Structure 1
C-alpha cells in the first residue's frame, strides 16, 4: 500500500500565507482579492489568481513579475512562521516503514524545500511530486498519476490525503481513494467523493492504521 498526500493544508498550514501574499501583490495593481474568490478560483477550481490580470490587459511580462514578487513574499512568510500542522509528525512517523509514502503537491520546488528544511518531514517520505514535475496541476489527475507511478503500486492500492476540492478531484480522477482533512480556508467545501473526512491528525491515523 502507498500513502500519497498533499503538502499545503495536510502536512503544513500554509494556505493562508499563500492567500495573504497573493492578495498583497494584487492590491498593488488595484485588484482586491477576497477570501471567497480565492477559495472559489484556487482551492475549488485550481485556477491561477493572476488570470484576471491577463483578462484586464496586463502584459505577460507584467504578470510574470507580479508572480515573482508574490513568490518572494510567500517565501518570506513561510521562513518566518512555524507552519507544521500540530500532530502530523506523529502520524507520519507512525506510518513510516509500514507503507510507502509520497507527497503530491502543486507547490513549487523552492517553496517546498524551504518549508521542509524547517519541518524535517521529508525524512519520513520516499518521494515527492512538485509543480515543476507536471505539465498540469491539480485538479488534473496528472500529479497523482505521477505519484502512483513513483510508488510502484497500482492506483487501487494507494490512498490519498487531501484538504481541498481541487486535490480531491485530482486524486479521484487518478483512480485513488481519498481521505480529506479540511483546514481553515477549505472548511465547508463539497467533499462528497471522499472516502472519509478526518477532522484532525488523530482521526487520520486511526482511519489509516487498520488499512495497513
Structure 2
C-alpha cells in the first residue's frame, strides 16, 4: 500500500450535521419534510446529483442551481462558525504522513474543501486533493477515485480508500482500491457488506492500516 485516499464530509470533518440541518431548513421553507432515507441517498454524491434526488423525493419543481445556492450560502455560514475535525483525524494523518501519500476525494465543491482545509490547517498533510467541480460522474461512480489515483501516479491496488457513506465506499471499491468504511451516526444503517473492512472510528482504521502495512 502506497497511499490513503480520504473522503472529507462526515469522515474528516463533522459537516453532515450542517448539511442535514440546512436540507431540513430548506424543505421546511417550502412546507415539506425531508426524510432520513432521502438524506442517506444524497450522501457522497455530487451536489447536482444529490439535489436532483432531493427535489424528486420532495416533489419540488424548482431550479436545482437556485436551491444549491441557498444551500451553499447556509452551509458556508455554518462552516465558518462551527467546523471541527472528526475524532482521530489528526492522529491518523500524523501516523501516515511521510510514510504513505495522502489524498482527498470529496463530493464537495472546491470552495468548501478549501474552506475546511484552511480553517483546520490541514493542507500540509495532503499530496493530492480532488473536489467535485471537475468530476462528471459523482459517487458511487468511481471517476473521482480513478482521477486521484492517476494524479498520485499509482495503481488502484496501491491505494486505500476510507469512506463514511455507502455511495462513497462503493466508488472506492469500484475503482479497485482496498476500501475501509467508517460509518457515522448518519450512515451506520447503510450497506457496507462489500467493503474490505468496517472500522468503528478513525483510530480503529489507523490500527487496521498499520496491520496491513506490517503484513506486506
Q: Distance in 1 between the 2:191 and 2:101 partners?
A: 28
1:100 corresponds to: 101
Please show how residues 35-46 of structure 1 align to structure 2 within 5 Å: 35-39=36-40, 41-43=41-43
Per-residue CA deviations over 1:103-145 (Å, capped at 9, x if unaligned) read 0010111111111111112211101110102111111110000
Q: Distance in 2 between the 1:16 and 1:123 partners?
A: 26
Please show how residues 103-122 of structure 1 align to structure 2 within 5 Å: 103-122=104-123
Q: What is the TM-score of this pair, normalised by structure 2?
A: 0.90
1:211 Cα offset (Å): 2.9
1:58 aligns with 2:74: no
Please show how residues 158-169 of structure 1 align to structure 2 within 5 Å: 158-169=159-170
Q: Distance in 2 between the 1:77 and 1:139 partners?
A: 27
Mark the runs of 5 or more structure 1 residues left unpaired by the alignment.
Answer: none
Per-residue CA deviations over 1:32-61 (Å, capped at 9, x if unaligned) read 11223211x21388742344536846253x
Mark the runs of 5 or more structure 2 residues left unpaired by the alignment.
Answer: none
1:191 corresponds to: 192
SS of the counterpart of 2:50? coil
Q: For the Cα contact (< 8 Å) 1:164–1:182, is it kept in 2? A: yes
1:179 corresponds to: 180
- Identify if the C-alpha distance between structure 1 residues 54 and 37 changes in structure 2 by more than 3 Å, giving closer, same or farther: closer
Q: For the Cα contact (< 8 Å) 1:38–1:49, is it kept in 2? A: no
Count of aligned pairs between the two proteins:
209
1:48 corresponds to: 50
Q: For the Cα contact (< 8 Å) 2:51–2:68, is it kept in 1? A: no
Q: What is the TM-score of this pair, normalised by structure 1?
A: 0.91
RMSD of aligned residue pairs (Cα, Å): 1.9
